[in-house]
């Protein structure tokens, strides 16, 4: 079932212990389609679209950090009457997911962090991302050479056209107003984030870190470092890039189902 809260659009399917799923920047809730069937057989799965992504409206006002986005997702769960839940977050979904888990440990009962890192960016990466975002803001479009470069950052060099071409076409078609009101501002929150690795000390609930073997923006050493700080398993997904759940969906589904089966009540 697809529905909306007062503002944020989301998928709500299945029954059982609730799971809140967070997608990557420049994707939407459909990113999780390869896992929804398996997850919803055992759990209630809530999958929102980030502001300005998918069917959600634009970013409501000026946001100064990802903690505000985390609170918006908590409000969604509140509106559904859900008190306790698990988080599965990929990329920015893991960033705001970690903020939420650290701030509300009595409500978040487990967390899976996929292809994400809550430390800050290097100076070189920061400059590269902000140059792209400023160019997109000025043009009102994601144009070459940034268009294909951005799309390819999500996958390994061996990605199939079946995955890559729809992403290129989707990025090309984002309206100027949506780019300027939501996509660019959220991008600046993500890539301009401060170092939040200290949050890991507050995440005491069961956790797992999952990283695509060939993830370009979030290499495996970052995942290994966070897993060591959390004292949890680090699962590497063979042959997959940043959107590991699409490039090797069966391996990611297996890793998630194994983790959830170990830490959540039947």
Average pLDDT over residues 100-119: 98
CB neighbour list of residue 204: distance below 8 Å, 6 or more residues apart: 105
Distances (CA, A) of 2 to 23, 46, 67, 108, 118: 16, 10, 25, 23, 30
Within-domain flag for 20: yes
Q: DSSP characters for 106-162?
A: TTEEEEEEES---SPPPHHHHHHHHHHHHHHHHHTS--TTHHHHHHHHTS-TT--HH
Q: Which domain holds residue 19?
A: 2-120+195-263
44 vs 7, higher pLDDT: 44
Within-domain flag for 153: no
Within-domain flag for 28: yes
CA distance 94 to 266: 25
Token pair for 255: 């890793």
Within-domain flag for 257: yes
Average pLDDT over residues 131-159: 97
Which pLDDT score is estimated for 4? 41
Within-domain flag for 168: no
Apex 96 CA angle, 95 and 101, nearest 5: 100
For residue 45, give the DSSP letter: E
Which pLDDT score is estimated for 1? 52
**Confidence band for 21, pLDDT divided at 50, 70 and 90:** very high
Whether the pTM exceeds 0.75: the reply is yes
Which pLDDT score is estimated for 7? 83
Average pLDDT over residues 162-184: 97
Distances (CA, A) of 181 to 78, 123, 194, 250: 26, 25, 22, 36
Name the domain count of the chain.
1
Within-domain flag for 236: yes
CATH code of 87's domain: 3.40.50.1820
Within-domain flag for 129: no
Average pLDDT over residues 214-223: 98
Within-domain flag for 161: no
Which pLDDT score is estimated for 6? 55
Check if the beta carbon of residue 139 is closer than 8 Å to that of residue 147. no
CA distance 245 to 194: 27
Spatial CA neighbour of 72 closest among 1, 2, 7, 4: 7
For residue 13, give the DSSP letter: E
Q: Is 176 helix (H, G, I), strand (E, B) or coil?
A: helix
């Amino acid at each position: 079932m697809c529905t909306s809260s007062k503002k944020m659009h989301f998928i709500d399917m299945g029954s059982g212990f609730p799971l809140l799923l967070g997608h990557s920047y420049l994707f939407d809730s459909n990113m999780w389609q390869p896992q929804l069937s398996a997850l919803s057989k055992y759990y209630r799965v809530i999958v929102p679209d980030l502001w300005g992504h998918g069917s959600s409206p634009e970013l409501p006002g000026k946001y100064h950090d990802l903690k505000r986005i985390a609170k918006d997702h908590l409000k969604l769960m509140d509106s559904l009457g859900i008190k306790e839940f698990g988080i599965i977050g990929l990329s920015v979904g893991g960033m705001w997911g970690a903020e939420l888990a650290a701030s509300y440990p009595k409500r978040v009962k487990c967390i899976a962090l996929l292809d994400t890192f809550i430390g800050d960016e290097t100076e070189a990466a920061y400059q590269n991302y902000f140059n792209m975002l400023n160019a997109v803001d000025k043009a009102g479009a994601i144009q070459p050479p940034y268009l294909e470069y951005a799309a390819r950052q999500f996958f390994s060099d061996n990605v199939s056209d079946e995955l890559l071409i729809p992403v290129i076409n989707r990025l090309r078609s984002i309206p100027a107003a949506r780019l300027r009101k939501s996509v660019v501002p959220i991008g600046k929150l993500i890539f301009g984030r401060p170092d939040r690795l200290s949050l890991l000390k507050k995440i005491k609930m069961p956790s797992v870190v999952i990283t695509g073997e060939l993830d370009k923006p979030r290499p495996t050493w970052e995942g290994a470092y966070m897993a060591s700080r959390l004292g949890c398993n680090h699962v590497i997904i063979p042959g997959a890039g940043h959107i590991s759940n699409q490039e090797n969906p069966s391996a990611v589904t297996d890793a998630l189902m194994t983790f959830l089966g170990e830490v959540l009540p039947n």
